[in-house]
Amino acid sequence: MTTPPTLSSPPAPSAGPPAGPVDADTLHVAFVGEVDHGKSTLLGRVLHDTGAITADRLGARIEDGGLAFLLDGLSEERADLFTLDTAQAVLETEARRYVLIDVPGHLALLKNMATGASRAELGVVVVDCLVRGTDQTRRHLRVLELLGVTNVVCAVTKMDLVGYAEEDFRRVADEMAALVEACGLRLSATVPVSAVAGHNITAPAPDRLPWYTGQPLLDTLHGIGQERARSALLRFAVQAVVGPPGARRIAGRTESGTLRPGQTLTGTDGERCVVRTIERFGEAALEKAEPGDSVGLLFDGAEPAPGTVLAPPDQPLTTGRVWHIRILSTSDTKTLAEGDRCVVRYAAGSAPAYVEHIDSRWNSSTLARLTEDGPVRFTEFADLRLRLDTAAPADRVRDCVQLGRFMLCDEDGRALALGVVDRVEDSEAREPDVRNTKQGKGTP
């Protein structure tokens, strides 16, 4: 039984680059799903039935789609009846604090979907029991896997339209179990719901679903262990070093792991420093700094340069110019070909680079490998070898999500792709002379 949650005022919808780490007590949950599968209505029902939103804030009657508009911040969304941009609400319960992310489902908004999902630690995949999984459902699952999400919950919606029939639910559940496994994710639960009627979302519905033995959706989220989008590896990104001689402080942010006074940290240059105290303005000295904490470190030893990522000596980052990466192309106006220039934006900074080699390309809806040669096009996944102009630090995504994922942009700052690092090598092999002087050829 949960206590009534509170809702923060939803921020204006935005779709920025992959987010950094999150508060240690917060679980970011991305709701993804094909257009018209009921995703926004389901999110609205969660907020309404937990008491976070009262009926007078709906703007329209529930039967007229009022629940679906609770997180829609753009007038065009109400007119076109689908989510254009990423929006989020903060839901606080006795068990946990949630950030619920409403991610757009339309194919044309793939970039918005991918950047919204990059904030997530858990995915809720919304599937219409009548339509079942679509190409876009597969694409959403692959995006979640690419961005380091490991657990998903499947919410089978519109059960009222099939009379809450177990057979229809099982058909979708079996299909989604196979699809989730094929995409390299773990299916934590499959939950039948009716968002319009409000059944099995915040409370059980035994009169409608007598055959269902699991928990309602919100209790299912409570019961799932937090598969944090982080690892135990300690990573601290240096933003500046400030203060007078003898009392210099490293200002920065804990990207992953837990930092405590007395720990020794080292940069990629091998220089070491020892943390004396951890401070935050206006507060007493802290006992620790966890992911997402921006703090100042009073230290002894070598002074790191801004942009350095500090780590324990026994958990070093790999620094190199050659990154082996996986990407999802999010640009419908530009392709990525061998030799194309780009900029890598990652947790610790940015670095100019070029595509040295395209190893393979994949159709993101069918998951089939593309055999013909050519550039990476919109919605395709690809394995690439990227060569940076100067060496930069990174982690393999399976070791540390925060330092293992990034965004590729063109030289004007426009997003081209989201990606993760599979391997970093220090190779200084001879550079090919196939680099284009102009980044990002237009799509043929």
440 in a structural domain: no
228 in a structural domain: no
What's residue 116's pLDDT? 55
CATH code for the domain of 257 = 2.40.30.10
Task: Decide: helix, strand or coil at residue 11.
Answer: coil
Looking at the fold, whether 257 and 336 belong to one and the same domain comes out as: no
pLDDT, the chain, mean? 79
Looking at the fold, whether 215 and 135 belong to one and the same domain comes out as: yes
Nearest by Cα to 145 from 344, 357, 335, 405: 405
Looking at the fold, whether 249 and 199 belong to one and the same domain comes out as: no
pLDDT grade for 110, boundaries at 50, 70 and 90: low
What's residue 29's pLDDT? 84
Q: Which tens digits make up the pLDDT trace of 293-339?
A: 899 999 999 999 988 999 999 998 888 999 999 998 988 899 999 99
Dist. CA 151–CA 187, nearest whole Å:
6
Tell me the HSE value of 236 on the side-chain side, using a 13 A CA sphere: 31
170 in a structural domain: yes
The residue to which tokens 């804030």 are assigned: 57
Window from 80-94, 298-312, 356-370 with minimum mean pLDDT: 80-94
What's residue 176's pLDDT? 93
Which residue, of 287, 310, 333, is where some domain finishes?
A: 310
What's residue 277's pLDDT? 96
Looking at the fold, whether 339 and 202 belong to one and the same domain comes out as: no
215 pLDDT above the threshold of 90:
yes
Dist. CA 55–CA 61, nearest whole Å:
8
284 in a structural domain: yes
Q: Which tens digits make up the pLDDT trace of 366-410?
A: 778 888 889 999 888 899 999 999 998 889 887 887 888 888 999
The answer to whether the Cα torsion of 235, 184, 43, 417 is positive or negative is positive
- Residue 119, classified by CB atoms within 10 Å of its CB into exposed (0-12), middle (13-18) or buried (19+), is buried
**C-alpha 85: how far from its chain's center?**
15
Looking at the fold, whether 120 and 244 belong to one and the same domain comes out as: no
Q: What contacts 24+ positions apart, CB below 8 Å, involve 8-12? A: 8/89, 8/90, 10/71, 10/73, 10/87, 10/88, 10/89, 11/87, 11/88, 12/73
1 in a structural domain: no
Looking at the fold, whether 286 and 183 belong to one and the same domain comes out as: no
Looking at the fold, whether 111 and 254 belong to one and the same domain comes out as: no
Dist. CA 362–CA 320, nearest whole Å:
26
What's residue 231's pLDDT? 46
The answer to whether the Cα torsion of 184, 188, 192, 194 is positive or negative is negative
Looking at the fold, whether 74 and 161 belong to one and the same domain comes out as: yes
Looking at the fold, whether 335 and 281 belong to one and the same domain comes out as: no
35 in a structural domain: yes
End-to-end CA distance of the chain: 56
Looking at the fold, whether 194 and 75 belong to one and the same domain comes out as: yes
Dist. CA 403–CA 310, nearest whole Å:
12
Nearest by Cα to 87 from 71, 105, 76, 99: 71
Number of domains present in the structure of the chain? 3
What's residue 82's pLDDT? 34
Window from 78-92, 132-146, 253-267, 277-291 with minimum mean pLDDT: 78-92
Neighbours of 208 (CB within 10 A): 16
Which residue range is the domain that position 304 belongs to?
A: 235-310
Question: What percentage of the chain has pLDDT greater than the value 90?
Answer: 39
Looking at the fold, whether 154 and 265 belong to one and the same domain comes out as: no
Dist. CA 236–CA 266, nearest whole Å:
10
Window from 64-73, 151-160, 165-174 with minimum mean pLDDT: 64-73
Window from 210-214, 363-367, 397-401 with minimum mean pLDDT: 363-367
342 in a structural domain: yes
Contact 359, 383 (CB under 8 A): yes
Which residue, of 163, 193, 223, is where some domain finishes?
A: 223
pLDDT grade for 444, boundaries at 50, 70 and 90: very low
97 in a structural domain: yes
Looking at the fold, whether 365 and 410 belong to one and the same domain comes out as: yes
39 secondary structure, DSSP code: H
Q: Which residue has the higher pLDDT, 10 or 251?
A: 251
